Amino acid sequence: MSIRLLLVLALGVWVVTGATEAQETAVKMSMDDKAVTITAKGQPLLTYCFDQVPFKPYAQTFYTPAGINILRDSPHDHKHHHALMFAVAADDINYWEEVEGCGKQVHRRFSDTRMVKTDNAPWASFTEDIDWLNPKDNSVVLTEKRTIEVTQLDEPRVSLIRWRTRLEVPAGKPKVTLGGHHYYGLGMRFVQSMDPNGTFRMAGDAKGEIVRGDEQLTNAPWCAYTAVAESKPVTAAMFDHPENPRVPAKWFTMHTPFAYLSATTNLWKEPMDVTTEKPLVFRYCVALWDGNTDTGAIEALYKRWLSWPAPEQEKRLN
């Protein structure tokens, strides 16, 4: 076992045992040499794969409070669709797809793991350092500091992921230009049963532009998708943050031949620079309910999320 892994595991144990008994019962986090596993009340909540992955770390499973996973990893039609993943192009290197010539996001270390408390709920939190590599020479194109925070609320009864990505250029480079296709960003592939007959909803009932087929791009603060998983209705929503670049997000949605949702920043038409002076920070929240959640409840949780502090402002639970 590597020294890095021993340190990570030691930190993980310290974090869990540092919480109160009630908080331990609510949310627990463990790690092995491949993945982070988070549970709530003894049931699976999230699996995050970071090592021995082909091209990028990603969230592999995410469960409703009733225990239904909604994420599909690497299906036969698009092997590079890894459940819930963040990827764009950088300096014309494709980090979304996974074929020869594509770049890789390589996990380097966990710089922090902790239990934090936000809005009276305990969250399992980890921060990962990732290098985005050039496939030609393995040089570092971008560095990413990714913070994932996960909890399950009792009121409302909902599972939550807070995702924060900070992109910086490595020393010696003045800038990196982000670009790519119209669906690049924080993307979510749903389990197969959620593909047919699902319904997308936008904040304010916003209407989008059709790109091709039934693919649309719609500007809105949040987007939700309600469909059937394991013969039961579920609702998944993504929230944009008003401090993100180019708000509100331009949501990519599609139904055919499968359902997909992605938070984008219109990079296919307007490339964006990451500079030495100005790193880029993206903050999103993914919410997951059992049932067909009404629009008012989604909007209420979105507004509640906006009041929560950024990860770097939070403190450890004693």
Q: Which residues of 189-211 are buried (b: 16+ CB within 10 A; e: fewer)?
A: bbbebbbeebebbbbeeeebeee
- Kindly report whether the peptide bond that precedes residue 279 is cis, defined as omega within 30 degrees of 0: no
Q: How confident is the model over 119-134, as a mean pLDDT?
A: 95
How confident is the model at residue 12, as a pLDDT? 43
One of 1.10.10, 3.40.50, 2.70.98, 2.60.40 is the CATH number of 51-313, namely 2.70.98
Q: Are 210 and 312 in contact (CB under 8 A)?
A: no
Residue from 143, 203, 146, 200 nearest 173 by CA: 143
- For the chain, domain boundaries: 51-313
Q: For 107-118, how does the pLDDT look when each residue is reduced to its tens digit (9 = 90+)?
A: 999 999 999 999
Amino acid in the structure at residue 73: D
Q: For 267-289, how does the pLDDT look when each residue is reduced to its tens digit (9 = 90+)?
A: 999 999 999 999 999 999 999 99
* Nearest-angstrom CA–CA distance, 266 and 116: 33
Is the predicted pLDDT of residue 294 greater than 70, yes or no?
A: yes
How confident is the model at residue 23, as a pLDDT? 42
Contacts of 306 (CB under 8 A, 6+ apart): 241, 242
Is the predicted pLDDT of residue 11 greater than 80, yes or no?
A: no
Q: For 232-279, how does the pLDDT look when each residue is reduced to its tens digit (9 = 90+)?
A: 999 999 999 999 999 999 999 999 999 999 999 999 999 999 999 999
Q: Look at the block and give the residue holding tokens 């770049």.
A: 103
Q: Token digits for 118?
A: 């936000």
Is the predicted pLDDT of residue 89 greater than 60, yes or no?
A: yes
pLDDT band at 66 (very low <50, low <70, confident <90, very high): very high
How high does pLDDT run on average in the chain?
91
pTM of the model: 0.92
